Structure 1
């Protein structure tokens, strides 16, 4: 009788973790509602969704930890929980917001469309066209899928890229830690601290997947024993791994400006420390991206050498651009930035604890590899984004080390509960951090319709502009009409009409996202854009179209 009761209790416990995950998904799904981006404040998306959505996201961590504590964690439950986390955290914005967010994602769709239409890049147009592989791939994908244009891929790119990256992180963590609880915890950490939003429709989103694959190949098959838990295979497998690595590197070189060099830095360290079984691969890792930069991207570096090398060694200037200039705005934005810093610091602390736990079994070079990407900040500010990219490149190994630290917390129930609570809180922080900019990077469908009207009206060579760069623009008629933000030449504000009129763009589009940007980041009064529109109308512009709060102004008389 006791044995039967014990078996029944075991069966009930087996279904507890899946039940918690399903309940979490149900709570989340029932609470999800559409959000009007125009109503978002400086706290972003988290303040405008139901608290039940955040509770559902947090509950997933509880189910995940419960499954990990079982005697034999089931892969299908852990993988299912990770998939739900991707949907609930990274798929939240495409589900609740009416249009794809982030202006640069729309721009990338336009560049891909240009290649699809003309079969070549637009020369001497933008430096990023010197790394055209992503745009060419999307142009092919658009034609192959029969999609009308690349904008159909924008909204769901983040959950797709992140889901694929999570698979890569698990493979990498399994290489370092072995197939067990630590590797799964590394994946969960990756999913709840990856707030940098470099997984949007972009070259770096695809290049990051190649980066993960290449790094895993190196650690699993091309390094000496002792660095990882994976066994070193025979020479044939080593040659195949080296060939696969070179293929990935050749694919990355024309894909993105920074990612191949981040990987090259890791390879150099492995070669110098004699952990790399094939040291010549470090030379190849440096030469291939340099060769593309010298030959394939010559339109960029000719006349721009100062942009490339002017910031080398200027650590204080780079830190100022990457940290000082970004840590600004109203109280809500400062709160969001604080959450982002908190997630990053917590991961670094966990990684340090994980390294301390592994210090007897793994050489110190593993910790060096985890932190090395941050050295990129001293080489280039990258327009104030290099620290974000460095954090992204460091995430896989930092999360792996963090997973090694957390796995020791699962043995005892009190520490396991503390772990579940901490991971759940971090998941809420992730939603807050990722949606913190949505007041000015998320768009209404009205914005897209007004831009479409501008495309219909503009003649070749004319200008379609915005007071600030937060508008879904440049996704069509690339190279045919000029599409730009006036922000650099005319500082946003209620009195910028004379400056705009002096430049004389034929079309100006003003939307709520631009107003939110000016208010939250620049300290302008709420509604400043309405005053700017009134000023433009008194300086020769007339209202061509208004849909909701989004207005298209055309140069040519008064209303």
Structure 2
């Protein structure tokens, strides 16, 4: 009992220290981790704050008495630290640019017409997320765009916590170890897809499905209870119309759990095949008309597995881009290594869920080899590996030496998470970028867009600055016909992107100088960090 009381006291001390350090770290002017400033104030204070919270949690993980309430509190503080700090410091979540440029136009069409148009809006082939997004705005009576762009990621982590805890409660006997698995899941996840985005909502439904399948009641009734069937149908239906890859992953997960004999019978598998298959063939037919041939050509070409995504861009990637890519591979490998150690320990500390979780990791391997998402196949496969990684990593808490290894790796992983998650400066957008986007949204109807936040919408075409060349006083490319007006968003973020991707710090300033003196372009919008140059086009 004395040891328990001592561990609890140390935990509370580190918890208080974490809050104090976090408060001091928020005195910084921005949130932009990179390899040069990650171990300098104020980011160093932020790293120490999360590390202190991790230590406070680790003391509780080793206690024999359940500490659910305090561990739950620490987990929520961790989520707030990692996902709200960028917003507090006037930066943005990684997904903000997609929320404005990609997802909002899809939701806007539904709100204006009350229907979907898969031919014009590719994402409408899986409209579940956008219907949900529209429903939230309709229920609130106002647009939730800005709120969800900046605060949606944190809310998504909190929402994900519920089925995640239920899942780990089903498969991890020790109550304190369940929270260790949750820590590993969130800390290992640098992939910016578990946000308020289509795949994020899809993963939420997938984890709900896994939590249901692994529940004791489902196992006893073998999934035949009416309530279980209804919930499974609803979750599968919602998942199927929300995100293709995640619905395919769900189908493979069900198959894996049937093969591992965790799920008895084939009813659930048949249901998943019917729902995913029917929607894929019928509901997403427009998408497959354009994407299926390309997918078939590259699917399971294993020689491409170890090519960095930058290799496909002509080998011109900047040093910063390559550096962050390497950090992400090393960081992911760090957690994969912990999971491998956990698998080895499972030979000694066996549990009936060990083989089913290995089967789920096999699903991630299939996703990896399929290369359905082209250059993103590594990140999507790692995303589906998070649950097995978290499950096997907490096996290390079973003895003292492996516990020390696990906690040491988690502490080292904290700055790694910041670099892997937020280190790609091109993923971040400022409030000034959003203001420029709002100008285009409010005062234009069509056009060619280059630079700034992407604008994926019918009658708008994004032209990469990299593919534009000067011709007759205009910046034009292969897809430029002069049919629409042209808008060039040139500013601080454009320069940052160019340096990050191509390592060239001279191009954007020189381009801006030329545009200022050009007779073909006029300055129609300006704020502190972004200018928009306009060319009327042929019409």
Sort the TM-score into its range (normalised by shorter chain). 0.7 to 0.9
Counterpart CA distance in 1 for 2:237 and 2:381 is 21
Cα deviations by residue, 1:383-428 (Å, 9 ceiling, x for unpaired)? 3112211111121122111112x2124xx4x765554333222122
Q: Secondary structure at the match of 1:258?
A: helix
Task: Tell me whether 443-452 or 190-199 shows the greater mean CA deviation.
Answer: 443-452
Output the TM-score relative to the length of structure 2: 0.88
Matched ranges for 1:79-90 at <5 A: 79-90=72-83
- The question of 1:408 aligning with 2:387 is answered no
| Counterpart check, 1:374 vs 2:365 | yes
* Pairing 1:555–2:539 present: no
Quote the RMSD (CA, aligned, Å).
3.2
Match of 2:510 among 527, 531, 536: 531
1:134 aligns with 2:112: no
Aligned to 2:327: 339
Once the two structures are TM-superposed, the CA of residue 527 in structure 1 deviates from its matched residue by 3.8
CA contact (8 A) 2:38 2:415 kept: no
Is the 2:338–2:406 contact (alpha carbons within 8 Å) kept by the matching residues of 1?
A: no
CA deviation profile, 1:124-169 (whole Å, cap 9, x unmatched): 2232221111001110101111233423211122222223323333
Moved more, 130-139 or 531-540: 531-540
State the partner residue of 2:520: 540
Following superposition, the deviation at residue 372 of structure 1 comes to 2.3
Aligned: 1:70 with 2:63: yes
Counterpart-to-counterpart distance in 2, 1:418 and 1:319: 28
Q: Which moved more, 1:92-101 or 1:203-212?
A: 92-101
2:391 & 2:329 partners in 1: Cα distance?
19
Q: CA deviation at 1:544?
A: 1.6
- Contact 1:501 1:536 (C-alpha < 8 Å) held by counterparts: no
Supply the distance in 1 between the matched residues of 2:38 and 2:510 (Cα, whole angstroms): 27
Deviation at 1:310, TM superposition (A): 2.7
CA-to-aligned-CA distance 1:172-193 (integer Å, 9 cap, x gap): 2222222433322211111211
3-state SS, counterpart of residue 258 of structure 2: helix
Query: What's the secondary structure of 2:150's corresponding residue?
Result: coil
2:13 counterpart residue number: 19
State the alpha-carbon separation in 2 of the partners of residues 303 and 192 from structure 1.
Answer: 37
Change in 2 beyond 3 A, CA 1:77/1:274: closer
Residue of structure 1 in register with 2:407 after alignment: 420
Alignment partner of 1:446 out of 420, 432, 437: 432
Deviates more, 1:62-71 or 1:176-185: 176-185
Q: Would the aligned equivalents of 2:199 and 2:242 in 1 still touch at CA under 8 Å?
A: yes
Residue in 2 aligned with 1:300? 287
What's 1:484 paired with?
A: 462
Inter-partner Cα distance in structure 1 for 2:317 and 2:163: 36
1:92 aligns with 2:80: no
Q: State how far apart, in whole Å, the 2-side matches of 1:500 and 1:336 are.
A: 31
Looking at structure 2, the residues matched to 168 and 328 of structure 1 have their Cα atoms a distance apart, in angstroms, of 43
Change (3 A) 1:40 1:506: farther
Cα distance in 1 between the residues matched to 2:13 and 2:392: 29
Which of 387, 394, 398 is the matching residue for 2:378? Answer: 387
Q: Which moved more, 1:278-287 or 1:324-333?
A: 324-333
Deviation of the 1:64 alpha carbon:
0.4
Rounded Cα–Cα distance in structure 1 between residues aligned with 2:42 and 2:257: 46
The separation in 2 between residues aligned to 1:419 and 1:264, in whole angstroms, is 32
Consecutive unaligned residues in structure 1, runs of 5 or more: 1-5, 224-231
Contact 2:447–2:461, Cα closer than 8 Å, also in 1: yes
The structural deviation recorded for 1:205 is 0.8
Cα distance, 1:120 vs. partner?
1.4
Give yes or no for the alignment of 1:465 onto 2:449: yes
C-alpha separation between the residues in 1 aligned to 2:41 and 2:273?
A: 46
Distance in 1 between the 2:88 and 2:387 partners?
Answer: 27
Measure, in 1, the Cα distance between the counterparts of 2:256 and 2:217.
14
Q: Which piece of structure 1 moves more, 210-219 or 336-345?
A: 336-345
Matched, 1:30 2:16: no
Contact 1:270 1:276 in 2 (8 A): yes
Aligned length: 526
Distance in 2, Cα, partners of 1:303 & 1:545? 36
Question: Relative contact order, CA 8 A, sep 6+: which one is greater?
Answer: 1
- Aligned with 2:359: secondary structure? helix
Partner of residue 441 from structure 2, selected from 455, 474, 499? 455
Taking the aligned partners of 1:383 and 1:393, their CA distance within structure 2 comes to: 16
2:345 corresponds in structure 1 to 357
Q: Which residue of 1 aligns with 2:250?
A: 263
TM-score normalised by the chain length of structure 1: 0.85
Q: Output aligned runs, 1:260-299, within 5 Å.
A: 260-299=247-286
**1: CA distance between counterparts of 2:428 and 2:125?**
28
- Cα 1:447–1:16 change in 2 (3 A) is same
Which position in structure 2 is the counterpart of 1:227? none
Residue deviations 1:278-315 (CA, integer Å, cap 9, x gap): 31211221221111111111222235430343322222
Q: Does 1:202 find its partner at 2:197?
A: yes
- Is 2:211 aligned against 1:216? yes
Mapped to 2, the partners of 1:43 and 1:306 lie a distance apart of 44
- Name the CA shift for 1:389/1:491 in 2 (closer, same or farther; >3 Å): farther
Offset of 1:502 from its aligned partner?
5.8
Output aligned runs, 1:42-191, within 5 Å. 49-99=42-92, 101-102=94-95, 103-106=97-100, 107-191=102-186
- Mapped partners of 2:275, 2:524: distance in 1: 51
Whether the 8 Å CA contact 1:506–1:555 is kept in 2: the answer is yes
SS at match of 2:276: helix
> Do the aligned partners of residues 33 and 309 (structure 1) sit closer, same or farther apart at CA in structure 2, a change above 3 Å counting?
farther
